[in-house]
Amino acid sequence: MIHSLKVTKVLHPVELTYDGEGLRIEGDFNAHKKVKTRHACGCFPLPPGPQGPDPTLLPIDNTHLLQVFYNGKTHMIQIHAIIPQHFDDPQSPVDLYKFMYTVERGQEQACLDFCTTVMDGAYKGLVMKKRLKVLINPFGGQSKAKEIFDTQVRPIFEAAKCSMDVQYTEYQGHAMDIAKQVDLQAYDAMVTVSGDGVIHEVINGLLSRPDAHQAIRQLLLGVIPGGTGNALSISMLGERRGFDPIYAAVQVIKGRPLALDICSVAYDDHRYYSFLSQNYGITSYADLGTEHLRWMGDGRTVLGLLKEIMSGTTYGMETAVDIAMTSKETIQRHYDTAHDSATWVEMSENDDAMTIPALTDPVPEEWTKIDDNVSFFLASKTPYLARGMLSHPCALPNDGLLDLLLVRGTHGFLKQLAVFDKVEKGAHLDSKIVSSWV
């Protein structure tokens, strides 16, 4: 069913139509983004650059509609939406637009009804005007999280009429302390503007609470990329959009909750939780050895790996793993089947979907034991470890399994370098020196 509303913009007639899938604006010939005047040295104005795209060229689909409401004081309907910069690019960056049109006297109720219809369609099955607890790490990565939030994310949340309680982390572990004490009834989601470290703290804080079972399911986690690697963000949104704070903010507002397996790690008498990777060998020391180079962004990962590979160091390890799949072909089929079915997995009601023996217990006979020197042992729940590192291309978010990569012994500088040279597209799994298990 088509719903329409006739409005005006400076006496020019404009028609708004909504078909359940998107909102079309017809008759607004000045809806382009205004390009700021550019100045050369000496402040002489230069000719303006090209106009932005015409936001009325195509309907604004439901996902991109943030708010549509009637302002009784001004007698205007206001539309807040994001518009792609390039309509022909599915990964295009987006911009925030705000449209305002005058509603004729006597059409107030028709306008209110139209707004209700559009908002019901744009937020079908979702929560409008989310209450957000926002945690910003001003020191992480390249120390740009505060700027990212203020200039790109806050305007999106405000346009969607979300309420925000913003707090800056002040020390390592602060986000964990906040998550331990947060009022679950006060917020719909906790949003991190940071790298993966603060996400790790929040998850561990929630799971350290007496009501951990309720907390980890009730309080949704929103992720805004503001760190160095942003592995979880790019694993969810892709390498381009995973580094786009505006698009990530829209995901917080309009995205559907995704269940993610959490790994429990026990060490001595301490237990903590991991959502990303568990690694040993050159991949871990490449990360630890470049902590002081976080200002480099993604580049520090590459530099650290090169340093470790050139050293030729191997690391002794003794471990036991319960392997579900050993064949790379079987693993690929498992991924393809899950990906093609596109079944949305709800969160498990069990505290522990899978348990393992304690370190003091005997290793089950059917498990595989590894007692060897290795270059690296790398398990992960996410496909990406960083931008350009599709390390586990068949990883699934909620299949109850870890994807494991293993390179034993020393294979020489060139062979190991070739593995990491292919990791950008996931082609390293074809290397003979790489074992891949699930």
Give the pLDDT confidence score for residue 35 in this predicted structure: 41
Among 130, 338, 148, 152, CA closest to 230: 148
Residues 31-58: what's their mean pLDDT? 57
Look at residue 438 and tell me whether its pLDDT is greater than 90: no
Adjacent-strand bridge partners of 277: 380
Give the pLDDT confidence score for residue 147 in this predicted structure: 94
Greater confidence, 102 or 374?
Answer: 102
Between residues 421 and 156, the one the model is more confident about: 156
What pLDDT shows up at residue 167? 97
Q: Which fold has domain 263-437?
A: Tumour Suppressor Smad4 (2.60.200)
Q: Which residues contact residue 427 at a Cβ distance below 8 angstroms, ignoring those fewer than 6 apart? A: none
Side by side, the strands of the sheet bearing 220-225 are 163-168, 131-136, 189-194, 220-225
Give the model confidence (pLDDT) of 390-413 as tens digits: 999 999 998 889 999 988 876 776
Position 228 confidence tier, pLDDT thresholds 50, 70, 90? confident
Judge: domain 3-122, CATH 3.40.1130: no
| Average confidence (pLDDT) over 207-228 | 94
> Rounded to whole angstroms, how far apart are CA atoms 438 and 436?
7
So what's the pLDDT on residue 350?
57
Q: What is the pTM of this model?
A: 0.88
pLDDT tens digits for 268-325? 778 889 999 888 887 776 777 666 676 676 667 677 777 777 777 888 988 899 999 9
Q: pLDDT averaged over the chain? A: 87
pLDDT at 34 over 50: no
Kindly list the domain boundaries of the chain, sorted by start residue.
3-122, 131-254, 263-437
pLDDT at position 219 over 90: yes
- Asked if pLDDT for residue 39 goes beyond 50, the answer is no
Q: Give the CATH architecture of domain 131-254.
A: 3-Layer(aba) Sandwich (3.40)
pLDDT digits (tens, 9 = 90+) for 254-269: 998 989 999 988 877 7
In 3D, which of 176, 232, 182, 245 has the Cα closest to residue 204? 176
